Amino acid sequence: MPPADRGHAAGVCTSMKVTSLLLALTMAVAAVPHSSFAEEGRNVDGIWLDDGERLKEVALPPAGPLKLDGWTRRGRGDVYRLKVKAGQTVKIELAASSEFVLMAVFDFSTPDEDAIFFSDSEGKVATLTPKADTEWLIRPTLILGSPRRGLGAHYTLTVSTGK
């Protein structure tokens, strides 16, 4: 091989090594968890939230029921975190503009991801009494949508206690 070709071959080899090194470095940096991803809070105390869900802390008022109005569409909308006391009977009622809006209630103190209540089209009232002080996640969700009927639905949650 003439001397000029050897220099070109060495340059190509060095260029390939640098490219491979940059690719490996880029992949390593991409694999490291970034603080911006951690701040999104997709997993809140063991409960996974959809990308479009916003967690809101709510509390029962001293007198009267708590009313929460909102709009939901397939994994987008507000979900609510509510502190409840042991032995306190809590009634959660869902009224919605669509029969396809349902609600699920999760207990932050249970390690599994199963809902402690899931409504259906017939029953949209949960009456629950926790055995210990805990926090619940109340998730209204539209399970079926169609472009003809719109992309979401309005709902009202009424939370009251039986003292």
pLDDT along the chain (163 residues), means of 10: 57 55 42 40 74 91 94 87 95 93 90 83 90 95 70 93 77
Distance of CA 95 to the CA centre of its chain: 22
Taking the C-alpha atoms of residue 153 and residue 112, their distance in angstroms, rounded to an integer, is: 29
| Edge-first strand listing for the sheet containing 125-128 | 66-72, 153-162, 89-96, 125-128
- The reply to whether 103 and 141 lie within a common domain is yes
Taking the C-alpha atoms of residue 66 and residue 161, their distance in angstroms, rounded to an integer, is: 9
- The reply to whether 15 and 50 lie within a common domain is no
The pLDDT value recorded for residue 60 is 92
The pLDDT value recorded for residue 163 is 59
- The reply to whether 26 and 66 lie within a common domain is no
The pLDDT value recorded for residue 16 is 55
Burial bucket for residue 22 (CB in 10 Å: 0-12, 13-18, 19+): exposed
Q: How many domains does the chain have?
A: 2
The pLDDT value recorded for residue 43 is 78
CA distances from 44 to 41, 122, 126, 149 (A): 6, 30, 23, 32
Range of the domain at 19: 3-32
